[in-house]
Amino acid sequence: MYDTLTKGERSLVDDGRRELVLAARKAYQQTMRTDLIALVEQLSERRVVAFLSDNHLDPDIAVESFVLEQAAGEGQGDGVDPLVSADATV
């Protein structure tokens, strides 16, 4: 998403208080994590196996990413596992 900062957050960034804005955003995301995951699971009817969230200030971009559990029958027989461990030998 682009242009996510509020007017107050933009003023803080312009005043050199970038870390304060990022810390407040991180706290909000952590506080809302359970509710956000529950909503995505309800709407998708799939379990969320990972929730990733981050903000970038210049340019003003935010990312909210939900990785969902494979649906029954999905990926069967194609030899591709979308959730391969980073330390797995490929």
Question: How far is 23 from 42, CA to CA, in rounded Å?
Answer: 29
pTM: 0.71
Take residue 53 and report the two structure tokens written for it: 């969230």
pLDDT at 72 (0 to 100): 76
CA Rg value for the chain: 17
Is the predicted pLDDT of residue 56 greater than 60, yes or no?
yes
Mean pLDDT, residues 13-36 taken together: 97
Is the predicted pLDDT of residue 84 greater than 80, yes or no?
no
- Our CA angle for 35, 37, 41, nearest 5°, is 115
pLDDT at 77 (0 to 100): 52
Instruction: Please provide the average confidence, as pLDDT, over all residues in the chain.
Output: 87
Q: Which residue has the higher pLDDT, 71 or 83?
A: 71
Q: Give the percent of the chain with pLDDT over 70.
A: 80
* Domain positions in the chain: 7-68
Phi, psi (degrees; rounded to nearest 5) at 56: -125, 135
| Nearest Cα to Cα of residue 20 among 70, 59, 28 | 28
